[in-house]
Structure 1
């Protein structure tokens, strides 16, 4: 009897895997084009050192600069209502940080907090901003602190919300694989966005815990955060978080401008006790507002506290003195 040769099993597995990756790639490409078509850039663009940045600019008066955290875009500030509330009495400039939203993130640069501080400081120069209060959330608090250290004349005051300031053991560094060349590139164009979409409800719930997720955050389309380019930026910043905090921590006592620290007592992303409470002691003139029952996403949960913090810093600058807000919590 003539023997029928069967295909080698490893070859079959390889073709199956390749077909699955091709299908995943097609889905990711479709969803990326769809979400960008449905959510085009709503701001302006500026090019700094060859990097194209997307930003929002609204209102008149004293300048407040908003810097969003890891995993979202500049639209998070608009959706929360904080952008428009500030713009009623200030000129508000909010950037998509490099690699997020519609801003570029060239691979030729390692986008540390210092590198981002330099780029955004130059962007403010081009926009004619000589002095501003910088309000930053989460990972971007490291960028704001680097800006304050390197450009103290431009950064007149800080409002730091839900920040990560001191190194700690973090399991989320294991999610930084999409930032690795080659294997990371393959993942973020295929399986990583699909896995991220599957886990999205759990990730959002953890970010807001112990608070419920408000409707204001649900207006941010998940696929904007799961596009391959943004996934690389998110993974890279996750990997840099611990060394970045370690490099900056020794400089906190050097800051001389008014600083307000706002945090949720129940923050499951950046422990208030490990981070904000310690920063409040390292910066002598800092005020601290710790909000009972609030999680990480303060801009959606406690806009009035952030508005009060900005107002307090502004009044102190105008009066030439600074008495920090009393701790709330």
Structure 2
């Protein structure tokens, strides 16, 4: 005979399981709607069984664009790409687990806390770029993509690197609660589906405004980038795990930065509260003799959207310095 306490425990477990299944179904339906509304913009190249999503446009020397955390290719195609294709062959990638590039299959479990670091991601995207005929490339990375660009610089001999508000250095303190929780085994398994199912439009809008602050987010940006692609359960997990695992990678990478001699252009807003200039680009500019820092007074975390001329000028400087 089952005791009353055991019966309550069984009932609670059954209710929890039913709730988890319902949340999972809601998250899956939302993901299906997102993929229907924001389908892949480009094509795919396969690397060791993994699909890497890319857009390639323009003609001229090769330029690679790598997006930041919570992003995808569409961050670059919201106007910025059009400023480059008259001068360069531009290849834009989705990073692993975000947009439509496959997450590493061994790191995709709901309870896994591991993630591909910046150098791992650089290696994957370099192989994809090589398959696409990209050579002597200038690599441009924004935010987390800046760390991937620096991983590319350390290991794959690009012509030059441009880091826009690049997260390239160890930082003091911790991360926000959302990343910290979702980076854990239990958070990734239980909380990520809740976010995927229930994240509201006002909550998403507030996050976008925070990223652009003190500038306003451009009209139409949220609709263009397809935020709900980032809110798919697997993408929520991948994004959180990559961020929570980033610090030890940049600790190791930063020790090797002084050995770099290639042209590096750093562009960073002085009002960036997401990736502060004094923590990241200023120390990097002092570590690497070939690094040149452009400070953008009053600009926040999204210089490629709100200071486009200054960013394209930095890319041109990198090209000239590389003899391109």
Normalised by the length of structure 1, the TM-score is 0.87
Equivalent residues of 2:30, 2:196 under 8 A apart: no
Runs of 4+ in 1 over 3 A off after TM superposition: 5-20, 176-183, 194-199
1:76-115 alignment, distance < 5 Å:
76-79=75-78, 81-108=79-106, 110-115=115-120
**What is the root-mean-square deviation of aligned Cα atoms in Å?**
2.2
Query: How far apart in 1 are the matches of 2:180 and 2:5?
Result: 40
Aligned to 1:164: 167
Are 2:125 and 1:127 aligned? no
Equivalent residues of 1:178, 1:192 under 8 A apart: no
- Structure 1 pair 107/6, CA: closer, same or farther in 2 (3 Å)? closer
Query: How far apart in 1 are the matches of 2:106 and 2:237?
Result: 14
Once the two structures are TM-superposed, the CA of residue 116 in structure 1 deviates from its matched residue by 1.2
State the number of aligned residues.
Answer: 311
Equivalent residues of 1:179, 1:232 under 8 A apart: yes
Aligned to 1:322: none
Choose 1 or 2 for highest CA Rg: 1
1:244-259 alignment, distance < 5 Å:
244-259=249-264
Query: How far apart in 1 are the matches of 2:48 and 2:183?
Result: 23
Aligned to 1:193: 196
Aligned to 1:40: 39
- Structure 1 pair 29/157, CA: closer, same or farther in 2 (3 Å)? same
1:143-292 alignment, distance < 5 Å:
143-152=148-157, 155-168=158-171, 169-172=173-176, 175-181=179-185, 184-188=188-192, 190-194=193-197, 196-197=199-200, 199-218=203-222, 219-292=224-297
Aligned to 1:73: 72
Once the two structures are TM-superposed, the CA of residue 22 in structure 1 deviates from its matched residue by 3.1
Once the two structures are TM-superposed, the CA of residue 145 in structure 1 deviates from its matched residue by 0.7
- CA deviation map 1:282-304 (0-9, x unaligned): 11122111112211122221111
Once the two structures are TM-superposed, the CA of residue 269 in structure 1 deviates from its matched residue by 0.7
The gaps in structure 1 that reach 5 residues or longer are: 320-329
Query: How far apart in 2 are the matches of 1:253 and 1:7?
Result: 62
- Structure 1 pair 116/7, CA: closer, same or farther in 2 (3 Å)? closer
- Structure 1 pair 145/121, CA: closer, same or farther in 2 (3 Å)? same
- CA deviation map 1:53-87 (0-9, x unaligned): 000000110010000011011111001x1112111
Query: How far apart in 2 are the matches of 1:7 and 1:124?
Result: 58
Once the two structures are TM-superposed, the CA of residue 13 in structure 1 deviates from its matched residue by 4.3
The gaps in structure 2 that reach 5 residues or longer are: 108-114
- CA deviation map 1:2-34 (0-9, x unaligned): xxx999655554454444333322221111101
Query: How far apart in 2 are the matches of 1:133 and 1:91?
Result: 10
Query: How far apart in 1 are the matches of 2:87 and 2:245?
Result: 35
Aligned to 2:21: 22
